[in-house]
Amino acid sequence: MIVCVAVVGHQNNPLYIQSFTKGDDSLLRISILNVEGCSYHSLKRHHIVHCSLDVVDERVNNPKKSGLIINETFLGLLNPTENYKVYGYLTNTKVKFILVTTDLEVRDVDARVFFGRFHTAYVDAVSNPFHIPGKKITSRKFAERVSTIVKSFGLSSGG
Amino acid sequence: MATFLPQFQSIKSSFAHIVLSVEDVSDLWPTIKKGFEERLPFKRASLNNKTRNPVLVDELPAEFILTTDARLRSRFPQEQSLFWFREPYATIVLVTCEDLDEFKNILKPRLKLIVQNDDREWFIVYVSKAPAHNDQATKMAKKVFAKLEVDFSSKKRERCCKLDIHGPDPNFWDDLEGKIMECIRNTLDRRILFYEEEIRKLSEQRFMPVWNFCNFFILKGNYSGDKPCDCFWDTSESLAFMFEVAHLHEDALREYDELELCYLETGKQRDFGGMEKGDDQATLLDSGKKALAQIVQDDSFREFEFRQYLFSCQAKLLFKLKRPFEVASRGYSFIISFSGALALHESMLPFCMREVWVITACLALIGATASNYEDGLAAPDVEKEFYRVQGELHTLCHTKFMRLGHLVGYGSDIERSPVNRNDMLGNVDKRKVFCQENLSQSVDHHKEFYIFLHSAITLVFPCSASLSMLPWPKPAVWPPLPPDASSEVLAKEKMILQESPRLKHFGIQRKPLPLEPSVLLREANRRRASLSAGNMSDLFDGRPSCPAWQTELLNNTRGCILLLLISCVWDMHAYNCIKMENFLDSSQTSVSDSSGTPSAVQRVSNVSMSRTLSSPGNFDGSIDRPMRLAEIFVAAEHALRNTISDAELWKSLSSVEEFEKKYLDLSKGAANNYHRSWWKRHGVVLDGEIAAVHHKHENYDLAANLYEKVCALYAGEGWENLLAEVLPNLAECQKILSDQAGYLSSCVKLLSLDKGLFLPKERQAFQSEVVRLAHSEMEHPVPLDVSSLITFSSNQGPPLELCDGDPGTLTVALWSGFPDDITLESLSVMLTATNSNDEGAKAIKSSEAIVLMPGRNNITVSLPPQKPGSYVLGALTGQIGQLRFRSHSFSKGGPADTDDFMSFEKPTRPVLKVARPRSLVDLAAAVSSALLMNETQWVGIIVKPINYSLKGAVLHIDTGPGLSIAEKHEIEIEKHEFGANNTDHSDNPPDNHSPVSADVKQLSLEDGKINLPDWTSNITSVLWIPLKAISHGLAEGTPAGTVSQRQSIVDGLRTIALRLDFGVSHNQTFEKTVAVHFTDPFYVTTRVADKCSDGTLLLQVILQSQVKASLTVSDAWLDLQDGFAHTGKGDGRPVSKFFPLIVSSKSRAGILFSICVVDTPAKDGEELDPISVLNIRYTISGDRNLGAHSPVTKELTGPENETDPLTFRSALVLQRPVLDPCFAVGFLPLPSNGLRVGQLVTMKWRVERLKDSGKDVDSDDVDEVLYEVNVNSENWMVAGRKRGYTSLSTKQGSIIVISILCLPLVAGYVRPPQLGLPDVDKANISCNPPGPHLVCVLPPAFSSSYCVPAA
């Protein structure tokens, strides 16, 4: 299950972070009661995505060691820990896409397909003339599209 | 085979070198032993590895053992093959013999016997005892040795060498070493072949049931041998060990790798292991900790011990290979994977075994690798990687250690952060926390209901530790509370009660991160045997009366289940009722959204209320009381005490202080290592953890330093959510440390973070702190950068355009990020010129205090005159109280986007443009034609603004000499219409220019100044000023036909100096002097039209109109000079009666006067009047737009026809006819070819005496006549005397010719030289023929010599 996707700008600034958790949306609203803790729910994924940038930097700075092929945008598995996996993708404009999943078995091809679609959605979103480059992506359409892509994760290749 | 394991391990532990056996045939060994052993260990041994490639081993330890030694003799043949690695690699046969016969008969057969075993590698050392001086003995020894060589050496292999005791050959030792090496190499090769064959055989049988991993293992792990073998399992490890002993570490490592792989594939045992005392301490670097025999079971090994053993063997080899970084990285992977394996078996292992093992493993690995690593050992990138892994190991250890801390109740002492927090699924877990906390507080006296709800919540919100970094331990049964622990429980409870969520600075209140105690409470109770049995569906299913609707609800939406729970709580407790009411209020909306009809929700709620679950009898009696948190802590502590065998680790958990110390050590270790690796962010984040501890212990200085690093990282990359966690802490430290600048800066940063990250009241607290400090006496006031908080931009639309020197008003839009209004004591906007770099920014200050509202504010600042150029907004400075602030952030027209952290975009759009100096206004005379002299005339001044407003302009008028303003008249102003000159005609009556027309305004002159009316500020207007030009001279008429002696134009010119003060603050001045031409209405010429025989002369007076106006002559008369008189009635009026005579513009008219010459008797004492005066009464009808017009006074008196006629007087000089000529001067014709510039010409005059001179003349009858040539020297050059006397006979008719050579200087019609006779009265000179008035002078002839013909 994908739990979080993120777009990080070329200066490592977060452009878009969206989490996907199981649960009914209507139920999620109950958390409004807990106003004081509202901002906390995103902290952890911010932390994970932020720290995974270290790995992206490392990969980019050590292409030989990491076996990165020149012009390869898919960075592969960035940060396997005991409970989740982080995958990365780097565009030519140094924009990073981060995928956090709890699936223990993720096929590279699925991740590649996901990032390909995500990239396309991102390109469409930033092509919006009202979008200011370098600013957070606030397009609702983009969010919906990302949700669709996340839902179809792993389905494309028959997985 | 497994039976050999103890033996194998003992061999391994005591065996670290290869063995060379010595067959001491002749009892020589004691004598030469020393020499031999001095050669050990062997240097630069060359061996073959598994792939038969030569490998140079720097140091090969070995031992010489006599064949008679017990260690070699007591072996069973069966053991030999298994432990072959410890068998001798070479057999050295020591012999001596000094007699050939003895050699032949005794020694040779014996040696043959010894070497007959082909399996062994051997060679013979012949020791010669012969002293050097004894030639006989030496010879004999040589003979014997030669015989020995013949018998035992072959062409292929030299097997003999000779040692001379009394004088050893220096080459002997090299020879010996060479032979030993050859033997070792051969033996090794052979044994490798053997083991390989064995392993191959065993590998083939791997998947067969009879296969035995033990055998395989020992075989693979053990081979060559000098040192005790590392092996456990049969064949496999023997090979690896053999390589190791032979110092072929790479090969040994490869064997171990293969062995591990093989084990993981096939060798695993069902019994995992790890249940023994001390197993919690990782042995992944200590292979000898546990005997292999202990871990073997059913011909294979227990995973727990064996994998650690294998790793320790690998690590040992890697350390030997000086690759500690590889140990670290392999170790980390190993720990992660092994931790996974432990997790699989967690339910069987002791409580928290996994955590404890990981901690000890990490610590062991960190210690071993760090001590084996030296800086510079590896390439920089490897080094970075090494430190990264070290950091990872620290982090992993830190994480697990935290988990243990949480279990024993120390968790609350560590500030929770995203780094150490458990669950990232915030919303889901917050719901759980909400429910659980409320329920546990209020309904614990209804324990069964609590349990029910607990299970229900678990079902509704499935335990989603899916992203948990730190899952709780999952023992099969949660450890129970020891019976005698009530005092400890009390202590823990006290601790829990005392702990209160530390209030963050600024009154920021946050619920504890959703980690514990609530979740632990649930998890622990769930895992207790009696509670782990069921979940909600079980509970429902177990109830015979479970209605269908409940099941349906259960299956349908979790939202409905929630409602069910709420209704149950409602039924249970009034307090909860109230609480849940709120809860329901907000949830109803959401649920109704999904169901579509709110009534449905209500219905469900009502129904569920009626079916209370207050006494679910099934639960009674079957469920223990749930453990309280303090009990869980105590139980966990006791269980951990049983698990942890490491005293150090237990000490770290024994008290909060020790726990924190260890926690800090691990955090620091991780951070330091991350800082030395690529993973800077990890390091900085951990710095934040360390800072939190320092913060707690009031080491604010250290904490602030570290927090600053963390904040800089987050702020630098724009991770606001993370920054919002840390920044309040930093601010608090700074406040305590009295770092006012830092504190202010932090407050500003807090305010500039996304609004959603803090509550409004918190943001207000930030603001009040800023304001409080700003108004207090700061010790070291520093300018505060509020770029992120107050942004500015120019207003929409084009930039303000100003002319040079003009002040202006600039409007700037300010966005305030403060949550409340804030008063700025002053505000300045810096303007930066874009076109010049040398000029710094200029501050434009707003004069008054400004109150900024949240959001957009429009601020107006007055702008002093600026230099020409284009300006952009540079920065904003100002003051809040005593605090100076500064903002550089330019907003593009919206509220500040705080994530725009990296781009201080220079505003490119200019906000102000100051034009280069240019004409802003023009003043010009309205007419170019002449006005009437000596009459008050309207002089029009066109005031033309050039794209500039003349609002409030003042015109200063200063008339020059000969000109005065008729001050009693008003000054008029009207709109100037272009083309008016063309449309109006001079003959038009001036009715349409009535003095007060609709668009003519009257102004008055004050002190020579006129204030221009506002309506003229943007249009071209004409100012009509009544002016009178004074000329005291009388106009002079001239005789017709003579060269015009017209009044010079310059005489009629008058100037008006004008100065216009205008501009926004009269800062602009325009000065101009306007010339106005005045003239008389007529130019008068006269000529005698006819001479009558009676002496009457008809004098024609020609009037040439000089103005662009129609002149009506109503009367004219001539006051004649003396000597002339009018004929007829003599009133001086002309003879004709056609007055009024209208003279159009620029036309001529003539008037005839009939006069006669009279002799005027000279009056005594009176001068004769030499001038006749022509008087003309006329009226003028003209347009002031065109030129001359009726004088102003006249206009004011009334209509045109009632105006008094004007009088024009002109002097005329009438010349009496020459009645008594004495001389006639005639101009002789000029040459016919004309005059040309530069060409000499002779001017000739003929002077003839017409009368005899009346003087008494001399006898010679010659009179001297004075002549003078008047010539304009600019036009002519005269050669000769211009004035002189000439002789002329006094007789009548005498003639002389006066010639003068002249040179014309200019071309054109020029007046020729005139000859005059100064001594003779003009009345006596007649000009016959008269000289020409003008002659034509041609231009000089072209010089063709330089001309090139045109192509």
* Number of Cβ atoms within 10 Å of the Cβ of B383: 17
Q: How far apart are CA B765 and CA B778, in angstroms?
A: 19
**CA dist., res. B1033 & res. B1053, Å (int):** 14
| Chain B residues with CB-CB distance to A29 below 8 A | 586-587, 589-590
Distances (CA, A) of B124 to B96, B127, B166, B290, B1214: 10, 9, 19, 43, 170
Cβ neighbours of residue B199 closer than 8 Å, sequence gap 6 or more: B216, B219, B220, B235, B236, B239
- pLDDT at position A149: 92
- Tell me, yes or no, if A53 comes closer than 8 A to chain B by beta carbon: yes
pLDDT at residue A119, rounded to an integer:
94
- The span from the CA of B1117 to the CA of B404, in Å, is 137
pLDDT (average), residues B1051-1080:
85
User: Which chain B residues contact residue A62 at CB under 8 A?
Assistant: 381, 678
| Alpha-carbon distance A134 to nearest alpha carbon in chain B (angstroms) | 7
B335 to chain A: closest CA residue: A82
- Give B1286's DSSP letter: E
Average pLDDT value for residue range B432-454: 42
Tell me if B937 sits within 8 A of B1032, measured CB to CB.
no
The tokens 């041609």 sit on which residue?
B1338
Question: For chain B, percent helix, then strand, then coil, each to nearest 5?
Answer: 40, 25, 40
Which range has the worst mean pLDDT, B613-627, B720-734, B972-986, B1114-1128?
B613-627
Phi, psi dihedral angles at B25 (to 5 degrees) = -70, -40
Question: How far off is chain A from B877, nearest CA to CA, in Å?
Answer: 26
Task: Give the C-alpha separation, A102 to B785, whole Å.
Answer: 43
Sequence-separated (6 or more) residues with CB below 8 Å from residue B1059: B955, B956, B958, B1069, B1070, B1071
pLDDT of B282 over the 70 cut = yes
Highest mean pLDDT among B22-36, B558-572, B578-592, B677-691: B677-691
d(CA A18, CA A146): 9
* CB-CB neighbors (< 8 A) of A83 in chain B: 465-469, 471
Q: Given pLDDT bands bounded at 50, 70 and 90, which one contains residue A22? A: low
Q: Specify the residue for token string 């997985």.
A: A159
pLDDT(A27) > 50? no
**Does A60 contact chain B (CB < 8 Å)?**
no
Find out whether B276 and B244 touch, Cβ atoms under 8 Å.
Answer: no
Residue pLDDT, tens place only, B490-521: 888 887 777 666 667 776 766 555 444 456 77
Nearest one of B622, B624, B625, B588 to B606, comparing CA atoms: B588
What's the farthest any 2 CA atoms get from each other in chain A? Answer: 51
Q: What is the model's pLDDT at position B534? A: 39
Between vectors from CA B253 to CA B250 and to CA B256, what angle results, nearest 5°? 155
Instruction: Report whether pLDDT(B15) > 60.
Output: yes
Tell if the CB–CB gap between A22 and B682 is shorter than 8 Å: no
DSSP string, B484-551: T-HHHHHHHHHHHHH--PPPPGGG---PPPBTBSHHHHHHHHHHSTTTTT--HHHHHHH-TT--HHHH
Q: Are B844 and B831 in contact (CB under 8 A)?
A: yes
Rounded Cα distance between B1155 and B1214, Å, is 11
Is the Cβ pair A43, B593 closer than 8 Å? no
More confident residue, B464 or B994: B994
Side-chain-facing half-sphere of B467: CA atoms under 13 Å: 31
Q: Are strands B1038-1039 and B1082-1091 parallel, antiparallel or unpaired?
A: parallel
Does the pLDDT of residue A145 top 90, yes or no? Answer: yes
β-bridge partners, B456: none
The conformation of residue B756, written as its DSSP 8-state character, comes to: G
CB B755 within 8 A of CB B794: no
* Cβ contact A46–B722 (<8 Å): yes
* B681–chain A nearest CA distance, Å: 6
pLDDT tens digits for range B584-623: 334 333 333 333 333 333 433 333 333 333 333 333 334 4
Beta pairing partners, B1180: B1111
Residue B1003's closest CA among B941, B948, B1056, B1062? B941
Q: Which long-range contacts (CB under 8 A, 24 or more apart) does A113-121 make?
A: A113/A156, A113/A157, A114/A2, A114/A149, A114/A150, A114/A153, A115/A73, A115/A74, A115/A87, A115/A89, A117/A149, A117/A152, A118/A5, A118/A89, A118/A146, A118/A149, A119/A73, A119/A89, A119/A91, A121/A145, A121/A146, A121/A149
8 Å CB contact of A23 and B427: yes
A-chain CB neighbours of B558 within 8 Å are: 23-24, 27
CB neighbours (10 Å) of residue B1066? 11
Task: Give whole-number Cα distances, B930 to A25, B1051, B1189, B1200, in Å.
Answer: 94, 12, 10, 21
Q: Please say if the pLDDT value at position B1125 is more than 90.
A: no
Give B1200 or B961, the one with higher predicted confidence. Answer: B961
**Under an 8 A CB cutoff, do A100 and B467 touch?**
yes
| Cβ–Cβ < 8 Å for B240, B256 | yes
- Is A138 touching B (CB cutoff 8 A)? no
CA distance B449 to chain A (A): 22
Position B893 scores a pLDDT of 45
Q: Nearest chain A Cα to B589, which residue?
A: A26
DSSP-derived secondary structure letter, A65: T
Percent of chain B with pLDDT over 70: 72
**So what's the ipTM on this one?**
0.90
Q: Which tokens hold the place of B812?
A: 């700037």
Please give the interface size between A and B, counted as residue pairs whose CB atoms are below 8 Å apart. Answer: 188
pLDDT of residue B1129: 65
The DSSP bridge partners found for residue B831 are B842, B873
Chain B closest-CA separation from residue A104 CA (Å)? 11
Name chain A contacts of B593, Cβ cutoff 8 Å: 26
pLDDT tier at B1183, thresholds 50, 70, 90: confident
* Interface mutation target, options B467, B588, B678, B897, chain A, most CBs of A under 10 Å: B467
DSSP string, B236-252: HHHHHHHHHHTT-HHHH
Contact B428 A21 (CB under 8 A): yes
Higher pLDDT, B736 or B1165: B736
Which neighbouring-strand residues pair with B56?
A: B46
Q: What angle do CA B876, B878, B884 make, to 5 degrees?
A: 115
Which helix (H) or strand (E) segment holds residue B707: the answer is: helix B700-717
The residue whose two tokens read 């349906």 is B552
Distance in angstroms (rounded) separating the CA atoms of residues B329 and B1031: 115
Which residues from A are below 8 Å from B434, CB to CB? 30-31, 33-34
pLDDT band, residue A89 (cuts 50/70/90) = very high
Mean pLDDT of chain A: 78
**Which residue from B466, B510, B718 is facing A40, i.e. has the nearest CB?**
B510
A105 touches chain B (CB under 8 A): no
Number of H helices, E strands in chain A: 4, 5
Distance CA B376, CA B1287 (A): 132
* Rg from Cα positions in chain A: 16
CA distance B919 to B1090: 61
- pLDDT score, position A8: 93
Do B678 and A14 make contact, defined as CB atoms within 8 angstroms? no
Q: Does A108 touch chain B (CB under 8 A)?
A: no
pLDDT at B1351: 53
As given in the structure block, the two tokens for residue B1203 are 């105006």
A120 has a chain B CB within 8 A of its CB: no
Least confident of B219-233, B407-421, B742-756: B219-233
| Residues 61-100 in A contacting B (C-alpha not used; CB under 8 Å) | 61-62, 65, 80-84, 100
Interface contact flag, A23 B336, Cβ < 8 Å: no
Of B442, B444, B468, B570, the closest CA to residue B523 belongs to: B468
Provide the 8-state DSSP code for B1085.
E
Task: Measure the CA–CA gap between B1005 and B957, rounded to whole angstroms.
Answer: 9
Residue B1018 confidence class, pLDDT cut points 50, 70, 90? confident
CA distance B431 to chain A (A): 6
Q: Which of B558, B719, B759 sits opposite A14 (nearest CB)?
A: B719
Tell me which DSSP letter residue B1141 carries. Answer: E
C-alpha span between B461 and B457 (Å, rounded):
6
B824-876 pLDDT per residue, tens: 888 888 888 877 665 666 777 777 788 888 888 888 888 888 888 888 887 88
Contact B759 A100 (CB under 8 A): no
What is the chain A residue with the closest CA to B591? A26
Q: Indicate the residue type of B579.
A: K
Residues of A in contact with B336 (CB under 8 A): 80, 82
Q: Is the pLDDT confidence value at B454 over 80?
A: no
> What is the pLDDT, as a whole number, of residue B68?
77
Closest residue in B to A55 (Cα) is B679
> In this model, does residue A124 exceed pLDDT 90?
yes
Alpha carbons A62 and A67: distance in angstroms, whole number:
8
Residue A7 has pLDDT above 90, yes or no: yes
CA B1070 to chain centre: 47
Quick one: pLDDT at residue A120?
Answer: 94
Contacts of A35 in chain B (CB under 8 A): 759
Q: Angle CA(B1090)–CA(B1094)–CA(B1099) in degrees, nearest 5?
A: 30
